[in-house]
Each structure stands twice: as structure tokens, then as C-alpha cells.
């Protein structure tokens, strides 16, 4: 046996500084990468997400070769077909005489468990290295979380500010506040336009991948084209610079706003690059901070952007690993309505849901408030089955990997973890969407109507949600005011709300149009 090692690089580990590559030997080791069926199908991924992942993997493999590495890369079309990472590694062990596998820890319990079985199943040594592309280690998160009654992002975020020194004046936060979220809730005035994100035309590699994905998944969800995501680190960097120069200044004010036909608004469209490893999260924050120091972007925008990355992104990762593999099957509120077809087809009279689903089908993208307060809030207050909702989110967004998606869906949007991620459920009536978007203007339903057939479904579902879950939620101080409002409501109105919600929920169970 040689002392050659196989360095397995997964599809969301496309970083040249990856720990396994940094410790590797180009003259001796072989990098193994593969488009494998299990990964392409564990959920019915959006086809644009598949194109992004495979094209970025192929480009990364080429960059590694150009840098001097030997790369054994298997395409989805390889025959015999490679079903899993295990088959990929078995094939590579046969092709290269190697006795050791090195891999950076996977971002998902499912894959981590598969890798953990290789030593016994394949009789090789396996070194699993820590993923050092995050700002906090898993141990640091656990040390912070241990002994706390509740985990709140805000306090963890302050630790991350201190650790990185971002937006700090010595020990104090710049601007004398840690968090400017309260300044970030404006709706977008009709005349305001947002500079669109820079696009990157598909090159030959991407065009090949598009053809392959269209052939392999002819009936899969989502458009493959137009495809203008970056697929290499250099272009992802350009996307970051473009965001900082043109949209970051507006990011804070309009972070929560939604607009028909405007998918990106002032958002960065960077999560898919950061999560795949093409862009370094800390680097993105450092550049944003520089823009603030240079007077090119206001503090509420820069703080908001940095908070999402060193706060939320790191926090949800810590929660994912800490809570364990059963997290995705939690159902604290015992919600059980199957996911309606309109989450895939967009065929609903609710303009807001239709707009977000249609946009998602085209772009494999929706911004945070669309995910949280439209498709998320609807699923929450209607009582949709969390595991089905989780699978949908994991499938349809180009940035979706379980470690980041699950805490956002199971925890933040659905409160199915009983309050690990969120301190209260994000339940809202149609008034919220009406305030933050222009969706209601063209809707068959009216946000001002309460219980009639033409009333916005969110209105009755909101109250019904609170009443259905009264025993679990009433003592939560953050929503007790809503229960006080309900208590003051007349009996006739209360019954009308509950009857209307019962009718809507039955329609969802029956698969009737809504």
C-alpha cells in the first residue's frame, strides 16, 4: 500500500482554502469529486440549483487541476451510475491505490453518518476534519449555549461581533447600539428602483450541465434558464463587490419589503455562493464594514448585513448540530395538513403565495421575508406538516443545505422546535403582507375583509392558529397581547373567524383551490 490519500471534496466545499486541501500533498494525493444520484435526488431539487452545484463543482475541479492537483471527477452520466458518496469512494479506492480518506465534515447529519460508516464498511482510515470556513466552531457554540435557558441569536451575535471585531469601537458597538433592526422595516415606495444584481452568462461548461440536467430531470421543478449565477469564486467576488457598491446602501431600509416582479430588491443574492464555498463569509463582512467606514453605506444597512452573516448564519448552524438528527422531524404544534400542490404549481388565488412560488420556480431564490412571512407564515398558521414544508424549502432554493435550511424552517418559520430558534411564532394576518408589499392590490382576496368568502385567508387562519395552540402559546409574553384582543372580541365574530378558518383548512385537506 502507498501512503496516498483520497481527499473527498463535497459539492458545498468549493473553497481553495479547504482544510483537507490545505493539509494535502499534490504530488501524492488524489482529489475525488462526484455528481452522485443520492445527492441529486434526496429531495426534488430545483433544476437551477442542480445546474449551479454541478457547474460550480466542474469549474472547481478544473481550477484544482490547473493548480497542480490530480482530480478524479465523476459526472452524473458516468456508467455504471454512481448512486452515493460511498460508491464514489469505493470506485476511487479501486482506481487509485490509497489507504486513507480525508474529508472535511459534511454539512448534514445524513451525509456525516454515511461517512462515519466507512472505516468499518470499507476497511480504510477516515480523517474527518473540522470545517473552518465558519466564524464560530461547533464547540464554541456549544460552550456558549450550555447552561442557557434559551438560546437567543442576539446574544450569540454580540459574541461574534466581539470575536471578529466587526463594527466595534473597542468593547462597544459602533453607533452605540448592537442592532439596528428596528430601522430596517420600511416598505418600498412605488418610484424607488433597485439596481439589479450583476449576472454571469453561462459558459460552455454551464451549458453542458444545463443540457444534462434537462435530460436527466425532464419533469423536475424549476426553470434551468436564464441561468446567470456565478459558478466560480472570482465571479462570486464580483457579485459581492457589485452588491456593496449598488445595493448595500439600501439594504437596511428595505430589508423587509416585498414587491411583485422584483425578486432581489436590495438583497445581496450571495447565500448560494457563501454556502457552496465560493465566497468567504468573513471576507464579505469585512468588505461591507469597509464601505461603512468609507461613508459609502449607512450603519443600519451594514450592521443588518453583517448580523445576518455572523449572527443568524452562524447561530442556525450551531443549533442544527446541537439539536441532533431528529430536529427535522420535530412537530411541536402537531401540524398535519399535507403540503398543498400550489407550493409547486403556484395555482392559488392568493397573490402573495402565487408571486413567491412563481418567482421561486424561475429564480430558485426568494428573499428572507418572502420565505418567512409569505410561504412560511401561511404554512405556520394553516398548520401544514413541518416535515413536508422542510422538504420543500430544502428542494426549491439554490442556497438550501440542511444545516441552514432546517433551523430556518422547522425553527424560525414553523415554531416546530418549540422555541429553540425563535422566541415566538411568526404568525401574522394579511395586514402585515399588505403593509410590506404590493401583492394585495392585485389579489382576489381582500386584506381588509375578515371572515367573508373574499376575505384574505391569512386573517381567519391567524386567529384560528392562536386558538388552536392556546394551551402552548398563551403564556408566551411576546404574544399575550393577541390573546387579550381575542378575549375582547364578540362571540359572533369569534365563531365567524373559526368557521372560516375551518373551511379553509378543510379545503387544503381536500386539495380544493384556495
**Counts of helices then strands in the chain (DSSP H, E):** 26, 7
301 to 185, 247, 305, 375: CA distances (angstroms): 11, 10, 6, 25
**Binding ligand FAD by CB under 6 A: which of 92, 372, 421, 466?**
372
Q: Provide the 3-class DSSP secondary structure of residue 455.
A: strand
Residue 438 binds to ligand DLZ (criterion: CB under 6 A)? no
Cβ of residue 105: shortest distance to ligand DLZ, in angstroms? 9
Cell of 349: 388565488
Residue closer to ligand FAD by CB (options 91, 368) is 368
DSSP 8-state code for residue 102: E
Cβ of residue 289: shortest distance to ligand FAD, in angstroms? 14
Q: In what order do the strands lie in the sheet with 70-74?
A: 70-74, 30-34, 5-8, 100-104, 125-129
Residue 10 binds to ligand DLZ (criterion: CB under 6 A)? yes
Closest C-alpha to 11, from 118, 79, 106: 106
Residue 313 binds to ligand FAD (criterion: CB under 6 A)? yes
**Binding ligand DLZ by CB under 6 A: which of 31, 36, 422, 433?**
36
Of 384-423, which residues contact ligand DLZ (CB under 6 A)? 401
Residue 404 binds to ligand FAD (criterion: CB under 6 A)? yes
Closest C-alpha to 202, from 61, 52, 65, 400: 52
Query: Which of ligand SF4, ligand FAD, ligand DLZ, none interacts with 151 (beta carbon under 5 to 8 A by kind)?
Result: none
Cβ of residue 460: shortest distance to ligand SF4, in angstroms? 11
Residue closer to ligand FAD by CB (options 365, 462) is 365
Rounded Cα distance between 313 and 301, Å, is: 17
For residue 125, give the H/E element and its range. Answer: strand 125-129
Of 78-137, which residues contact ligand FAD (CB under 6 A)? none
Closest C-alpha to 384, from 463, 323, 465, 439: 465
Cβ of residue 111: shortest distance to ligand DLZ, in angstroms? 5
Q: Judge whether 65 and 91 are in contact, CB under 8 Å.
A: no
Residue closer to ligand DLZ by CB (options 12, 256) is 12
Residue 378 has phi, psi (to 5 degrees) of -60, -50
Query: Which of ligand DLZ, ligand SF4, ligand FAD, none interacts with 433 (beta carbon under 5 to 8 A by kind)?
Result: ligand SF4
Cβ of residue 253: shortest distance to ligand SF4, in angstroms? 22
Closest C-alpha to 2, from 104, 124, 87: 124
Closest C-alpha to 247, from 285, 283, 193: 193
Residue 433 binds to ligand FAD (criterion: CB under 6 A)? no
Residue 348 binds to ligand FAD (criterion: CB under 6 A)? no
Cell of 207: 451549458
**Binding ligand FAD by CB under 6 A: which of 98, 409, 421, 440?**
409
Residue 107 binds to ligand DLZ (criterion: CB under 6 A)? yes
In the complex, the residues that contact ligand SF4 under the rule CB under 6 A are 350-352, 430, 433-434, 439-440, 443, 445-447, 456-458
Rounded Cα distance between 161 and 436, Å, is: 29
Residue 39 binds to ligand DLZ (criterion: CB under 6 A)? yes
Cβ of residue 251: shortest distance to ligand FAD, in angstroms? 7
Query: Which of ligand SF4, ligand FAD, ligand DLZ, none interacts with 406 (beta carbon under 5 to 8 A by kind)?
Result: none
Rounded Cα distance between 349 and 490, Å, is: 29
Cell of 183: 430601522
Binding site for ligand FAD (CB under 6 A): 267-271, 274-275, 305, 308-309, 312-313, 316, 367-368, 371-372, 376, 393, 397, 399-400, 404-405, 408-409, 412-413
Amino acid at each position: 500500500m502507498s501512503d496516498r490519500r483520497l481527499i473527498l471534496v463535497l459539492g458545498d466545499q468549493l473553497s481553495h482554502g479547504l482544510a483537507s486541501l490545505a493539509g494535502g500533498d499534490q504530488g501524492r494525493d488524489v482529489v475525488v469529486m462526484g455528481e452522485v444520484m443520492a445527492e441529486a435526488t434526496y429531495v426534488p431539487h430545483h433544476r437551477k440549483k442542480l445546474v449551479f452545484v454541478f457547474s460550480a463543482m466542474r469549474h472547481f475541479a478544473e481550477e484544482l487541476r490547473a493548480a497542480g492537483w490530480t482530480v478524479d471527477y465523476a459526472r452524473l452520466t458516468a456508467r455504471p451510475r454512481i448512486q452515493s458518496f460511498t460508491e464514489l469512494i469505493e470506485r476511487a479506492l479501486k482506481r487509485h491505490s490509497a489507504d486513507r480518506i480525508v474529508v472535511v465534515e459534511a454539512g448534514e447529519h445524513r451525509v456525516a453518518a454515511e461517512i462515519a460508516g466507512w472505516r468499518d464498511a470499507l476497511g480504510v482510515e477516515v480523517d474527518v476534519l473540522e470545517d473552518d470556513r465558519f466564524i464560530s466552531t461547533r464547540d464554541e457554540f456549544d460552550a456558549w449555549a450550555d447552561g442557557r435557558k434559551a438560546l437567543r441569536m442576539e446574544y450569540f451575535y454580540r459574541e461574534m461581533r466581539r470575536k471578529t471585531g466587526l463594527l466595534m469601537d473597542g468593547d462597544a458597538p459602533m453607533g452605540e447600539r448592537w442592532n439596528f433592526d428596528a430601522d430596517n422595516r420600511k416598505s418600498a415606495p412605488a418610484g424607488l428602483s433597485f439596481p439589479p444584481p450583476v449576472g454571469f452568462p453561462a459558459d460552455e461548461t454551464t451549458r453542458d450541465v444545463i443540457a444534462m440536467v434537462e435530460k436527466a430531470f425532464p419533469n423536475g421543478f424549476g426553470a434551468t434558464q436564464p441561468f446567470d449565477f456565478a459558478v466560480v469564486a472570482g465571479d462570486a467576488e464580483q457579485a459581492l463587490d457589485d452588491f456593496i457598491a449598488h445595493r448595500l446602501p439600501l439594504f437596511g431600509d428595505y430589508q423587509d419589503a416585498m414587491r411583485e416582479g422584483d425578486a432581489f430588491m436590495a438583497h445581496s443574492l450571495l447565500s448560494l455562493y457563501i454556502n457552496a464555498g465560493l465566497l468567504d463569509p468573513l471576507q464579505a463582512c469585512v468588505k461591507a464594514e469597509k464601505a461603512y467606514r468609507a461613508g459609502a453605506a449607512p450603519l443600519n444597512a451594514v450592521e443588518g448585513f453583517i448580523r445576518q452573516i455572523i449572527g443568524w448564519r452562524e447561530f442556525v448552524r450551531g443549533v442544527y448540530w446541537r439539536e441532533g438528527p431528529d430536529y427535522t422531524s420535530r412537530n411541536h404544534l402537531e401540524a398535519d395538513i399535507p403540503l398543498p400542490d400550489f407550493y409547486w404549481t403556484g395555482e392559488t388565488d392568493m397573490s402573495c403565495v402565487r408571486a413567491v412560488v412563481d418567482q421561486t420556480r424561475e429564480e430558485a431564490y426568494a428573499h428572507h421575508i418572502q420565505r418567512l412571512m409569505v410561504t412560511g407564515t401561511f404554512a405556520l398558521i394553516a398548520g401544514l406538516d413541518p416535515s413536508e414544508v422542510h422538504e420543500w424549502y430544502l428542494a426549491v432554493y439554490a442556497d438550501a443545505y440542511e444545516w441552514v435550511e432546517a433551523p430556518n424552517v422547522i425553527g424560525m418559520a414553523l415554531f416546530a422546535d418549540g422555541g429553540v430558534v425563535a422566541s415566538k411564532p411568526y404568525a401574522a394576518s394579511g395586514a402585515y403582507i399588505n403593509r410590506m408589499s404590493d401583492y394585495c392590490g392585485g389579489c382576489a382576496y381582500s386584506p381588509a375583509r375578515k371572515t367573508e368568502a373574499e376575505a384574505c385567508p391569512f386573517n381567519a387562519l391567524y386567529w384560528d392558529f392562536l386558538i388552536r395552540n392556546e394551551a402552548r402559546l398563551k403564556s408566551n409574553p411576546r404574544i399575550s397581547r393577541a390573546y387579550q384582543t381575542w378575549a375582547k372580541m364578540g362571540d359572533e365574530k369569534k365563531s365567524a373567524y373559526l368557521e372560516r378558518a375551518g373551511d379553509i383548512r378543510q379545503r387544503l385537506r381536500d386539495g380544493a383551490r384556495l
